[in-house]
Amino acid sequence: MSPRPHVPTRTLPLPSGAGMPLLGFGTWTLRGELAVPAIRTALECGYRHVDTATMYRNEAEVGRALHESGVPRAEVFVTTKCPPSMAGRELETLQASLDRLGLDRVDLWLVHSPVRQGSTVDTWRAFVEARERGWARDIGVSNFEPALIDEVTEATGVTPAVNQIEWSPLLHRPSVVQAHRARGVVLEGYSGLRGGVLEHEVVTGIAADLERTPAQVVLRWHLQHDVVVIPRSTQRERIVANADLDGFELSQEQMAALDALGRA
């Protein structure tokens, strides 16, 4: 068995007082027999944050992996998401998610994307109610622009705790980071290893200098920006390597070179 990775344990504070681990394990496209062993491996090697969604159709597998891992429930931060197509049936959707996960609450429930057929504000009100009922410790959004975050906040008095958006060095915009920080919203990135970033010469050059993988460089870049990141893989070697992020640090020059890719 490979050595246990140096998994980062740092968290970001959420309104409930809970800490959201900066490193999570993504489960998009993981279904059926591929899902359970991958998620269980992630938990066994030290990940303590698992991200799923109703639309991923794998909540039951996530729940099974959580149970089989033997990791205490209190130690694992679980996120799921409500699809915009379920506008008007948000609480019913969350109850179904909890049943599939085998949990009495999730740590974070996200609006998966802005509601097109219906009212995003009404959906957010349902999310606030779910939090008040104790079905979700914290609530947030995904794929929202700052203006829409402001709209739901002004309508309800409740600011989304998190906004999950596509993010990588190739998409880096300081103004986006600043907009979230100004509102007290945690920025979470998905698809951080996609889009050609792992093949970019700046990334591969830094990886060679540090004797690390390109994926480790990109993931470490997220962590040093305090952006939550959720890599996904079915291969044990990559799952372990993607968690092995606390044994090195990117210099200011390396961070600046990666930041500049978003302006290239």
d(CA 204, CA 213): 8
> Which DSSP letter does residue 5 get?
P
d(CA 166, CA 216): 18
Edge-to-edge order in the sheet of strand 49-51: 25-26, 49-51, 77-82, 106-111, 136-142, 162-166, 186-190, 228-229
Please tell me the pTM assigned to this model: 0.96
Do the beta carbons of residue 70 and residue 97 sit within 8 Å? no
d(CA 75, CA 48): 6
Picking from 12, 7, 39, 56, the residue whose alpha carbon sits closest to that of residue 163 is: 12
Do the beta carbons of residue 206 and residue 260 sit within 8 Å? no
Catalytic residues: 56
Phi, psi of 94 (to 5 degrees): -65, -40
Give the pLDDT of the chain (264 residues) as one tens digit per residue. 456 788 999 999 999 999 999 999 999 999 988 899 999 999 999 999 999 999 999 999 999 999 999 999 999 999 999 999 999 999 999 999 999 999 999 999 999 999 987 799 999 999 999 999 999 999 999 999 999 999 999 999 999 999 999 999 999 999 999 999 999 999 999 999 999 999 999 999 999 999 999 999 999 999 999 999 999 999 999 999 999 999 899 999 999 999 999 976
Do the beta carbons of residue 75 and residue 105 sit within 8 Å? no
